[in-house]
Amino acid sequence: MKKSAIRTLCIVVSIVTIIILAVFALVFNQNIIIPSITSLVFIILLVIMYNNSENEINDNIKAIENSIETSVSELIKEGSIGLIVYNDDYEITWMSPFFRNRNINKTNEKILTWLPELQDILQGNEDRQVVSINNETFSVSKKDNSNFLLFKDISLETKLSKRIEEEAYVLGMINFDNYDEYRDNDDEVTFINSYIKVPVINYLKEHDIVYKSIRSNRMILILNEKNYKELEEDKFSIINLVRQEAKKADIGITLSIAFARGSQNLDELDGEVQSLMELAQTRGGDQVVSRVIGKEVSYFGGSSEAKEKRSRVKVRVIVNSIKNLINNSSNVIIVGHKEMDSDCVGSALGASDMVLSLDKPSYIVARSGGIESMISDVVFKYSHALNAKHKLISENEAMQLLNDDTLVIMVDHHDPNQSNGSELLKKAKKIVIIDHHRRKADLSINPLMLYVEAAASSTTELITEFIPYLPKKFDISEQEANIMYLGILIDTDRFRVRTNARTFDVLKTLRTYGADPSACDLLAEEPYANVLARTQIINAAKQYREDIVISSMSEGTYQRSIASQACDQLVKIKEIEAAFCVCLTANNEVIVTARSNGGVNVQTIMEKMHGGGHMTAAGLQRKDTTVNRVSNELINVLNELYKGESNESNIVE
């Protein structure tokens, strides 16, 4: 019950009692004045006592409030807390001694003229804001509906926490890529030591980084966040320096650097730096890979194409482990990427031949997920020969065949989202990946073996290299050899890109199995509709800058392969370094294909939009969006990348 109600009740009860007593006295004519006065006094006393106890509580609260106000006003007076009073026009009318002590006087000025960042707090969007004035940091707060601001100096706390942050450990690792190739040549080792290792060591010393060589080609680095930030600001210039020096001497040495951050546990940083180095290596080296544990990986550099670094020994070791995995499986299912291309079909057939030579049941998922038009015509043409040997199935059929001992081999891709067996991969217990696309940071699956060689022309090249180590009964039919040859032909744009000595070795092998280059030329002939579509994309190309073109196809649908070929042709045009095509596919997906001559790293551009690929060939796909929206996003990424340089382009209308 409320206090006021109790009080009212008391008064009512006392009045009623007096009236009853008076009536009683009149009616019975008795002398009851003394008892009635006694009760009345008693009731009045009760009321007074009650009121007194209430007053006491109120007095206490008032006293506390007063003392708080006194201590706040005391703090304001002695200058520990700053107070600013302002009028309805947000003009400062009074500043407490706190500001005078700091030689700040802004009386009669508008708050926002002095500290524009305080707009949020004045509008009531924020309760507290941090501002810095003359190199000191203040926390500013405001009580609702009041017209004063409280300032607290938090410079010391800020400085301390910044210092703790700066002094956090970072563990790094440097790898001299391809060093093994030069180990046996004394002259080259001398060159590397004096022209490459010395500048690296000087660079480390210059930035106060502690280093220790752990092998002739590796160093461990110990540094803190402050050193690291300096390197990042310097854009890890040592990477470019090493590449240029090595190029002058025609030596294929580059640097890979990994940095693990964000933990004070050295064991954890050590584990992380090892796996980041592995990532840098499978992405082709010549780059910095850095990660704050638990966050996304950042990449820097990576401007030279992957160098050949798989030795014959490595190939033999890989084949033997794959053979073991196949021998220990009940059956093998081979999956490719969605919309299989020639390299994907060719490498799947080669992998299936490998499984058959080991007498294990083999299946290829090729009846779902799509096959690109050119190669699907070829598969149809050769269907008799192919079906006699291989079991081409759909993903649903594969799900029926899957058991705990099934080995799933992913060819020509390593991202389960791009797979024509993505559901299968979720359930598979044993997975092997064979691919030539630069590796993405996180795989989201845990393969038993990962053979990703960014330096190879094609997955077909990797699989054909297995042949010398496979059983004698291994065989490739003439039709298969043609498809595999086509795979390399197309992935290398007719042996013009990503083609090296190993590629020609493999072509020679395929030739001996009956691959016919002129027959393949005919197979690669394309329908008129494809030529037309490609020409449309080329015609639509607009210059983003002098050396970068974008074709944004807001109407019609296009095949991914056609878009890539159009970009391939665009970058062959003089002075054009990179080409992007944004278009819609028949599956209602918006795709971006990107090609480069090497001057622009399209992989990192696509990665900024959550796509991936190689430095010279990359892309992405998106559902539930429009070509214009993705084009604008691409332009924003380019604008961000070339910020500060002229020729910024505008958004597509």
Per CB under 5 A, residues contacting Mn ion are: 343, 412, 458, 491
Residue closer to Mn ion, measured from CB, 284 or 301: 284
Identify whether the C-beta of residue 555 lies closer than 8 Å to the C-beta of residue 533: no
Compute the least distance from the CB of residue 527 to Mn ion, in Å.
22
Residue 153 phi/psi, 5-degree rounding, is -80, 115
Q: In whole angstroms, how close is the CB of 522 to Mn ion at the nearest point?
A: 22
Cβ 272 to Mn ion, closest distance in Å?
30
Supply the minimum distance, in Å, between the C-beta of residue 458 and Mn ion.
5
Residue for token digits 């090595």?
A: 246
Close Cβ partners of 96 (under 8 Å, ≥ 6 residues apart)? 76, 77, 79, 81, 82, 83, 84
3-state helix, strand, coil in the chain (%, to 5): 50, 20, 30
Q: At 131, list the tokens.
A: 């501002």
User: For Mn ion, which is the closer residue by CB, 412 or 453?
Assistant: 412
In the complex, the smallest distance separating the C-beta of residue 343 from Mn ion, rounded to whole angstroms, is 3
Going from the C-alpha of 2 to that of each of 5, 9, 238, the distances in angstroms are: 5, 11, 78
Closer by beta carbon to Mn ion, 584 or else 602: 602
- Quick one: 447 or 487, whose CB is closer to Mn ion? 487
Distance of CA 317 to the CA centre of its chain: 33
- State whether residue 631 is helix, strand or coil: helix
- Token pair of 320, please? 């033997």
Encode 57-126 in three state secondary structure: HHHHHHHHHHHHHHHHHHHHHHCCEEEEEECCCCEEEEECHHHHCCCCCCCCCEHHHHCHHHHHHHCCCC
Nearer to Mn ion, 197 or 414 (CB): 414
Alpha helices, DSSP H, located in 475-539: 478-491, 501-512, 517-523, 528-539
Give DSSP secondary structure letters for 9-66: HHHHHHHHHHHHHHHHHHHH----HHHHHHHHHHHHHHHHHHHHHHHHHHHHHHHHHH
* Lookup result for tokens 């990359």: 618
Query: Using CA of residue 90, residue 91, residue 95, residue 101, what is the dihedral sign?
Result: positive
Q: Least distance from C-beta 452 to Mn ion, angstroms?
A: 12
Q: How far is the CB of 561 from Mn ion (least distance, A)?
A: 11
CA separation (Å) from 322 to 326, 428, 449? 6, 16, 8
CB-based contact 463:417 (threshold 8 Å): no
Cβ 459 to Mn ion, closest distance in Å? Answer: 5
Q: Which is nearer to Mn ion, 272 or 461 (CB)?
A: 461
DSSP for 275-315, please give it: HHHHHHHHTTSSEEEEEETTS-EEEEE--SPPPP---HHHH
CB-nearer residue toward Mn ion: 257 or 411? 411
Nearer to Mn ion, 339 or 491 (CB): 491
Measured from the CB atom, the residue of 395 and 491 that comes closer to Mn ion is: 491
Compute the least distance from the CB of residue 342 to Mn ion, in Å: 8
Nearer to Mn ion by C-beta: 457 or 552?
457
Nearest distance from residue 306's CB to Mn ion, in Å?
14
Closest residue to Mn ion using C-beta atoms: 343
Least separation in angstroms between residue 528's CB and Mn ion is: 26
Are 131 and 117 in contact, with CB atoms under 8 Å apart? Answer: yes
Give all strands of the β-sheet with 590-596 in edge-to-edge order.
542-545, 548-557, 578-584, 590-596, 617-622, 612-613
For Mn ion, the closer of residues 290 and 459 by Cβ is: 459
Q: What are phi and psi of 212, to 5 degrees?
A: -150, 125
